[in-house]
Amino acid sequence: MRTETEAGTGTGPGTAGQVPARVPTTGSAVGYRPTFAEASAVAQALHDSLSGVLLGTPDAVTVAVVAALSGSHLLIEDVPGVGKTVLARALATTLGAKLSRIQGHPDLLPSDVTGITVFAQNTGTWDFRPGPVFAHVVLLDELNRTPPRTQSALLESMEEQQVSVDGVSWPLPRPHLVIATQNPVGQLGTHPLVESQLDRFGLSTSIGYPDAEVETQLVLHHGGRYALDALGAVCDPPQWEQIIETTASAEVVAPVAEYAVALVRTTRSAGTVRLGASPRAAISLIRSAQAYAILSNRAYVTPADVQAMAVACLSHRLVIDGAAGDGRELVRHIIATVPVPQP
Ligand SMILES: Nc1ncnc2c1ncn2[C@@H]1O[C@H](COP(=O)(O)OP(=O)(O)OP(=O)(O)O)[C@@H](O)[C@H]1O
Ligand SMILES: [Mg+2]
């Protein structure tokens, strides 16, 4: 059965009228699950807050909100100085979470990320000292500058939501969102992420240069770090976790699921593709489309929601032959060719 949220019919992300600075859900109560309307209100409050910080890049803001609502890790690929760190900080602040930042560099050891077991002389016991990955929101700057074994230490934490140190598994705080950045320019001293690592990012985006008008706003102290200082939380981590659950229950009818799967499967047979998108990507595409629907004030997913998230969900996972290699263009082409289910 289709359910419009009480907030109204879907008209696109961030279109709700008045959104309180902090949405009064009672979500901290154990077992409480926010309604679709409450989840939509938080999503739009997140969107509005981030749009006031990261100026002139609505697509990147939408992808960041979708990552938060779907509980997906986010990869931001872009050149220096375009607002990657500011976006990550803004997202953590609005979600009421402390941001843990890890700077990628060639000497970064797995234990610098996950933590170490140390001998406590006063008690005569071995104690685990958690590393910076033990946080709700982790910013991993310049991930491709970290050596492969540190990258692979992140594989378990990103997928399993736990880390294993000296044979003991430690659960990470939930929700757990990794935002990793990498600079596509200047490959010297970098270790390109392996396919399995890329597949663990639910979404990828780039921010890009703002236009001249927005850049002028920035130099006149609007948005960016100045807006960040004034930013407040719209929820807290327990509420955020419940909003993820509500989002995951948005209705997906069989033709829409089949459409998402058809898009994913087409990536595997495209002529220039050496590695197509995985079933994990298909799941991620539906989760993201659910989040996009909630952000658009709807409790059900349409084919347009799937299309809206397909590039961000699939492009970074594709391995494409040589010079043909633009995953985004290929996904756009696939969207244009795969038949869309009619309502
Ligand atoms: N579109 C934008 N909106 C808001 N602020 C921006 C934007 N682009 C750049 N800035 C501003 O530029 C400065 C640098 O931003 P930030 O530190 O987030 O860049 P970065 O992409 O993380 O760079 P690096 O790759 O060097 O870490 C900040 O003051 C930030 O506010
Ligand atoms: Mg940065």
Looking at residue 22, what is its pLDDT? 44
Is 86 part of any domain? yes
Is 10 part of any domain? no
Q: How far is the CA of 39 from the centre of ligand 1 (A)?
A: 29
Write out the DSSP string of 126-150: EEEEE-TT-SSEEEEETGGGS-HHH
In a shared domain, residues 36 and 183: yes
Looking at residue 29, what is its pLDDT? 52
Contact between 15 and 43 under an 8 Å Cβ cutoff? The reply is: no
Is 7 part of any domain? no
Neighbours of ion ligand 2 (CB under 5 A): 84-85
In a shared domain, residues 129 and 267: no
CA nearest to 294, candidates 20, 43, 30, 25: 43
Looking at residue 165, what is its pLDDT? 83
Is 52 part of any domain? yes
User: pLDDT tier at 238 (50, 70, 90 boundaries)?
Assistant: very high
Looking at residue 219, what is its pLDDT? 92
CATH number at residue 237: 3.40.50.300
Which pLDDT tens digit goes with each residue over 261-303? 999 999 998 778 888 899 999 999 999 999 999 999 999 999 9
Is 293 part of any domain? yes
Mean pLDDT of 128-153: 91
Last residue of a domain, one of 242, 271, 295: 242
- Among all bound ligands, the one having the nearest atom to the CA of 207 is 1
Are β-strands 125-130 and 115-120 bridged in parallel, bridged antiparallel, or unpaired?
antiparallel
In a shared domain, residues 134 and 204: yes
In a shared domain, residues 47 and 152: yes
User: pLDDT tier at 108 (50, 70, 90 boundaries)?
Assistant: very high
Q: How far is the CA of 140 from the centre of ligand 2 (A)?
A: 9
Question: Which of 49, 59, 77, 85 to mutate to test ligand 1, by most ligand atoms within 8 A of the CB atom?
Answer: 85
User: pLDDT tier at 10 (50, 70, 90 boundaries)?
Assistant: very low
Q: Is the pLDDT of residue 204 over 80?
A: yes
Give the CA count within 13 Å in the CB-facing half-sphere of 334: 31
Mean pLDDT of 60-80: 96
Looking at residue 152, what is its pLDDT? 85
Q: Which domain holds residue 145?
A: 29-242
In a shared domain, residues 254 and 237: no
Q: Report the SS3 class of residue 285.
A: helix
Pick 82 or 325 by higher pLDDT. Answer: 82
Q: pTM value?
A: 0.90
- Among all bound ligands, the one having the nearest atom to the CA of 77 is 1
Last residue of a domain, one of 189, 220, 242: 242
- Among all bound ligands, the one having the nearest atom to the CA of 215 is 1
For residue 53, give the ligand 1 atom closest to its CA.
4
Looking at residue 131, what is its pLDDT? 93
Is 79 part of any domain? yes
The span from the CA of 193 to the CA of 244, in Å, is 27
Last residue of a domain, one of 178, 212, 242: 242
Give the largest Cα separation in the chain, rounded: 69
Mean pLDDT of 146-166: 86
In a shared domain, residues 217 and 68: yes
Looking at residue 320, what is its pLDDT? 83
Identify any residues that bridge with 77 across adjacent strands, giving them in sequence order: 182
Q: How far is the CA of 8 from the centre of ligand 2 (A)?
A: 37
Q: How far is the CA of 17 from the centre of ligand 2 (A)?
A: 32
CATH number at residue 337: 1.10.8.80
Mean pLDDT of 71-83: 93
Looking at residue 157, what is its pLDDT? 86
Give nearest CA residue, ligand 1 atom 8: 82
For residue 207, give the ligand 1 atom closest to its CA.
1
The span from the CA of 169 to the CA of 144, in Å, is 26
Lowest mean pLDDT: which of 77-81, 250-254, 271-275, 308-312? 271-275
DSSP letter (8 states) at residue 300: B
Looking at residue 21, what is its pLDDT? 41
Is 15 part of any domain? no
In a shared domain, residues 54 and 179: yes
In a shared domain, residues 158 and 51: yes
The span from the CA of 313 to the CA of 203, in Å, is 5
Is 36 part of any domain? yes
How far is CA 208 from each of CA 86, 118, 204, 215, 332, rounded to the nearest angstrom?
A: 14, 43, 13, 12, 19
Looking at residue 20, what is its pLDDT? 39
User: pLDDT tier at 1 (50, 70, 90 boundaries)?
Assistant: very low
Number of folded domains that form the chain = 2
In a shared domain, residues 39 and 90: yes
Mean pLDDT of 99-123: 91
Q: How far is the CA of 244 from the centre of ligand 2 (A)?
A: 27
Contact between 132 and 114 under an 8 Å Cβ cutoff? The reply is: no
Percentage above 70 pLDDT, the chain: 88
Mean pLDDT of 84-110: 93
In a shared domain, residues 138 and 49: yes
Contact between 312 and 91 under an 8 Å Cβ cutoff? The reply is: no
In a shared domain, residues 111 and 210: yes
Percentage above 90 pLDDT, the chain: 62
Question: Which of 57, 82, 143, 211 to mutate to test ligand 1, by most ligand atoms within 8 A of the CB atom?
Answer: 82
Mean pLDDT of 42-59: 95
In a shared domain, residues 150 and 187: yes
